[in-house]
Amino acid sequence: MGKRLHDEAAVADESKDAKREAKRLKKEKKAKKAEDVVDGPENAVANGEVKDKSELSKEERKALKRAKKEQAKAESGHEAAESAADATGDAETAAKAERKALKQAEKAAKKAKKGAEVAEEAGKADANVVATATTAGAAASAVASGYAEDAGLASLPQSEIDAFVKEKQLTVEDPRNQLYRPITAFKYLPVDESQRAPFAGFAAPTPIQAAVWPYLLAGRDVVGVAETGSGKTLAFGVPCIRYIAGLEKKERKAIKSCIVSPTRELAVQIYEQLVKIAEPAGIKVTCVYGGTNKDEQRAKIRGTNVVVATPGRLNDFVQEGSLDLSGVGYLVLDEADRMLDKGFEPEI
C-alpha cells in the first residue's frame, strides 16, 4: 500500500512538471507568431513577405530552424502532459477502488463475527428451565442486581464446598470460567428478610437454587436443568424480584420481567409463589392464560411489573398491542422442552 501511494505521488509530480512545461512552450510559440515567423512546407513568411527557403538569409534560416525545434518540443510537452494526466487519473481511481474494497471487507467481517456470536448463544438454550436477560437488559441487570459473595460463604473451607457439590450432585459449566460458590444456606442469600419468608419451613436451599442463585443475581444468563418440584420457581423468582426492586421507581413503570410456562396450572403455581415475595417489595405480578375472559386479564395487566403467561395468550396480547415487552430485562422460559413438545416454538 505504501509503494502504491509513493508511485501515485511521483506520477502527480510528473504531471505538474509536464503541465508547466506545456504552458511555457505555448507562451514561446505565441511570441514566435508575434514576430511573424512561421514554418511552412516549402515557404517562409518574414515581415509579411513570402520568401522561398533559398532566398532566406543565414540568420532567418537559423531562426526558422529554432522555431521548428520549439514547435516540436511544444507538441511533445502536450503529449507528455496528457499522458501524465491520464496516469494520475488511473492511479486515483485505483486507489479509491482499493479503499472502498477494504471498507466493504471490514463490514463483512463485523457482520460475520456478530452472526457467529448469535449462533453460539442460540445453541446453548436447550433445557427444562431457561432464565435469561435480554441484550438490552443484561447490563442493567448486572448493575441493579450486582452480586457479591457473602463474607460467611467466602470464608468456608473449600473442602466443605466440594462436599456439598458432591452430595447434591451439582454440575456447573461456565464458558467464562467464572465459577461462583453455591449458596449453601439461606443466610448467605443477599436479599431482604421479606424475600426469605417463603423458605422459613426449609432447612437449606435445594440444589438448583444453590447453584443458579449466584449467577442470576450477578445478571448472567442461565440454563438450569432440574426435576419438577425441585424449587425451580424460587430459583429464578428470587433474583427476578431483587432485580426489579433494585431499579429506580420511574424504571418500574413498564413490564420488566416475563415468565412463560407451558400450561395454565404451572403458570398459576408460579404466580402464587412469586406474589409472596413480590408484594412486600411493592412489585405487581399478573398471570394471563387461555380459556378465560380477555377483558378481565387485560385490565389486570395495567401497571404490572411481572407477567406470568402461557405462550398462546401471551402471543395474543402482544399481537393486539395490549402487552409491551420492549422493556423486559428478565425473561424466563419455564420447562422450555415441554413448550417445544407442545408446538409452541413459533410463539416462543
Kindly state whether residue 229 falls inside one of the protein's structural domains.
Answer: yes
Residues 228 and 285 placed together within one structural domain of the fold = yes
Residues 68 and 189 placed together within one structural domain of the fold = no
Domain end point (choices 54, 79, 114): 114
Residues 102 and 156 placed together within one structural domain of the fold = no
Report pLDDT digits (tens) over 255-270.
Answer: 999 999 999 999 999 9
Q: What's the average model confidence in pLDDT over 30-51?
A: 47
Q: What's the average model confidence in pLDDT over 217-243?
A: 93
Q: What confidence score (pLDDT) does residue 57 get?
A: 65
Residues 53 and 92 placed together within one structural domain of the fold = yes
Kindly state whether residue 200 falls inside one of the protein's structural domains.
Answer: yes
d(CA 266, CA 287): 11
Contact 216, 131 (CB under 8 A): yes
Kindly state whether residue 120 falls inside one of the protein's structural domains.
Answer: no
Domain end point (choices 57, 88, 114): 114
Higher per-residue pLDDT: 121 or 205: 205
Kindly state whether residue 313 falls inside one of the protein's structural domains.
Answer: yes
Residues 58 and 181 placed together within one structural domain of the fold = no
CATH number for the domain spanning 327: value is 3.40.50.300
Residues 223 and 303 placed together within one structural domain of the fold = yes
Kindly state whether residue 123 falls inside one of the protein's structural domains.
Answer: no
Which has the minimum average pLDDT: 37-46, 251-260, 307-316? 37-46
209 has pLDDT over 90: yes
Kindly state whether residue 346 falls inside one of the protein's structural domains.
Answer: no
Domain containing 319: what range?
Answer: 130-341
Residues 96 and 38 placed together within one structural domain of the fold = yes
Contact 224, 133 (CB under 8 A): no
What the block records as the C-alpha cell of 67 is: 522555431
112 has pLDDT over 60: no
Distances (CA, A) of 70 to 29, 34, 65, 66, 73: 7, 15, 9, 6, 5
Residues 233 and 104 placed together within one structural domain of the fold = no
Residues 71 and 108 placed together within one structural domain of the fold = yes
Report pLDDT digits (tens) over 311-329.
Answer: 999 999 999 999 999 999 9
Q: What confidence score (pLDDT) does residue 31 get?
A: 59
Q: What confidence score (pLDDT) does residue 236 get?
A: 97
Average pLDDT for the chain: 77
Residues 86 and 142 placed together within one structural domain of the fold = no
The one-letter amino acid at 181? R
- Where is mean pLDDT largest: 60-69, 80-89, 268-277? 268-277
Kindly state whether residue 73 falls inside one of the protein's structural domains.
Answer: yes
pTM higher than 0.75, yes or no? no
Residues 97 and 161 placed together within one structural domain of the fold = no
**CA-based radius of gyration for the chain:** 42
Question: Which pairs from 335-342 meet CB under 8 Å and 24+ separation?
Answer: 335/128, 335/129, 335/228, 335/261, 335/262, 335/266, 336/125, 336/126, 336/127, 336/128, 336/129, 336/130, 337/126, 337/127, 337/128, 338/128, 338/262, 338/263, 339/260, 339/261, 339/262, 339/311, 342/262
d(CA 156, CA 97): 64
Q: What's the average model confidence in pLDDT over 41-65?
A: 54
Kindly state whether residue 125 falls inside one of the protein's structural domains.
Answer: no
Angle at 274 between CA 272 and CA 279, to 5 degrees: 100
The number of domains in the chain is 2
pLDDT band at 284 (very low <50, low <70, confident <90, very high): very high
Higher per-residue pLDDT: 197 or 45: 197
34 has pLDDT over 60: no
Domain end point (choices 114, 145, 171): 114
| % pLDDT > 70, the chain | 62
d(CA 191, CA 276): 14
DSSP structure class, residue 189 = S
Residues 223 and 90 placed together within one structural domain of the fold = no
Report pLDDT digits (tens) over 149-173.
Answer: 999 999 999 999 999 999 999 999 9
pLDDT band at 121 (very low <50, low <70, confident <90, very high): very low
Distances (CA, A) of 127 to 124, 173, 309: 9, 14, 19
